[in-house]
Structure 1
Amino acid sequence: MSEVKSEVVPLLLNRTTATEAATDAVRGLILSGAIPPGSLIRQDLLSKRLGVSRTPLREALQRLTVEGLIRLDHHRGAVAAAPSITELREIYELQEMLECVAARDALKHFTDADLADLRDCIDELSRAETSVEWIRGNLAFHTTMYRISEKKLVVEMITQLRNRAILYINMVARSGESRKRAEADHIEMVAVLASGDGDRLEELIRSHLRATLAWVESIIV
């Protein structure tokens, strides 16, 4: 019996690791825009590109379907998803509620080290020369801010919602005006976090999200 276990367990672990690695890789390609929304995901080409076999890749696509990043089209197969404007509005409505909850909790645990980390994120954004660099910096800022909260389930839900709306969030990176507005909001958010003003922080989060949604609506509606 011990010989059977020694053969099976490593295979199971390797497969799990390969699936997780493939999931992270494909998610990254979608979130960065390398796999554009609406595009067909060719599993044969993608498995070669990532250097993984078809089985973990197929499992990765199933996971990303649950996350809402991929949709299964009966005629075309796996397609990179983009929410409709109705879905986007619902996403932002939920984000407002959840981000305010996370921000309030973050205030309770905010430290000087967190302040330094957020200022580093702001500096990184200000130095971004390309849209891709700005997208990464923007993601780093929001991730850093909400990881301060100890409401981990809320933060997980925020991440899932942001991922589903990433196509439209990335549009901001292509507009100099929107980038400047977002960066100004980030600077004020950090100052308010440091001051401990929860009411003002909620106001900023709501206005930040609503301004982004309004800008996206002006482009696509």
Structure 2
Amino acid sequence: MAEHGKVAPARRRGLADEVADRIRDAVFSGAYPPGSQLREVELAEALGVSRGPVREALLRLEREGLVRSEWHRGSTVTTLSRQDVSELDSLRGALEHLAVGHVIAHASEADITAIEDAARRMERAADEHEMVRCDIEFHDAVYAAAHHQRLQDAWYAIRSQVHLFLLTRVGLNSDDYLSTIPDEHRELVAALRARDTEAALELFAVHRRRAFEVLTKDIR
């Protein structure tokens, strides 16, 4: 316990952070789809660590919205409800609207090139899971180019949930996903490079709407 006027010593959480990264990567690679149970004992054994870091890691992932814990079920990978989908879509839309405006107003040529490079990586994606990862990295580049730290922080607060949103979309319907998504992102880059705010906002909205419509069609 800290003495009056002093802070307590910092607690090292490096191992828990690494465990959280490993579990997150396993979820995003499809090893643990939505609804999968995440058992502390099994994870600790697989990762070669004690249950303590696993428990801390699951708590961190719960704060990200990637994991949900219930007393009678333990920890499971989040299954998005229709309300979850709607809230994520509306919040993402608000953040992207602000991001697009700042990118067009403040992004350098190097920033736009970084966004374009992220879009090009999508052309080499081998499967849907890699494509979703590239999709998220594209949006990372957009928020970085906005040069608005609090906006970027807000994006990272929901980043894992948006990743799960896209994985859920692919799980429900992957028809033409690999073939159409790169083209969509090339159009987004072109509008940003042209500094065409109206076109960029419309294209980003259409991009979000397609995924939203797939999810809301099949999720109750």
Same fold (TM over 0.5): yes
Matched, 1:100 2:97: yes
Aligned residue number for residue 88 of structure 1 = 85
Aligned residue number for residue 218 of structure 1 = 217
Q: Which runs of 4+ in 1 moved over 3 A?
A: 171-174, 178-181
Q: Report which of the two has the higher share of helix.
A: 1
Q: Which amino acid aligns with 2:25?
A: G
Aligned residue number for residue 58 of structure 1 = 55
Aligned residue number for residue 72 of structure 2 = 75
1:9 Cα offset (Å): 6.7
Q: What TM-score, normalized to structure 2? A: 0.85
1:176 Cα offset (Å): 4.2
Aligned residue number for residue 200 of structure 2 = 201
Q: Which amino acid aligns with 1:207?
A: V
CA–CA distance in structure 1, aligned partners of residues 54 and 30 of structure 2: 19
Residue identity (%): 29
Cα RMSD of the aligned pairs, angstroms, is 2.3
CA–CA distance in structure 1, aligned partners of residues 28 and 157 of structure 2: 12
CA–CA distance in structure 1, aligned partners of residues 133 and 64 of structure 2: 20
Matched, 1:172 2:170: yes
The answer to whether the 8 Å contact 2:37/2:74 transfers is yes
| Pairing of 1:28-177 with structure 2 (within 5 A) | 28-170=25-167, 171-172=169-170, 175-177=174-176
1:157 Cα offset (Å): 2.4
* Residues matched between the structures, number: 211
CA–CA distance in structure 2, aligned partners of residues 52 and 153 of structure 1: 35
Q: What TM-score, normalized to structure 1? A: 0.84
CA-to-aligned-CA distance 1:29-60 (integer Å, 9 cap, x gap): 22332211111111111112223322122111
Q: Which amino acid aligns with 2:84?
A: E
Unaligned runs of 5+ in 1: 1-7
- 2:189 is paired with a residue whose SS is helix
Deviates most, 165-174 or 109-118: 165-174
CA–CA distance in structure 2, aligned partners of residues 17 and 85 of structure 1: 35
Aligned residue number for residue 4 of structure 1 = none
CA–CA distance in structure 2, aligned partners of residues 160 and 30 of structure 1: 17
CA 1:82–1:159: 2 relative to 1, 3 Å: farther
The answer to whether the 8 Å contact 1:33/1:167 transfers is no
Deviates most, 153-162 or 35-44: 153-162
1:92 Cα offset (Å): 0.2
The answer to whether the 8 Å contact 1:82/1:164 transfers is no
1:94 Cα offset (Å): 1.0
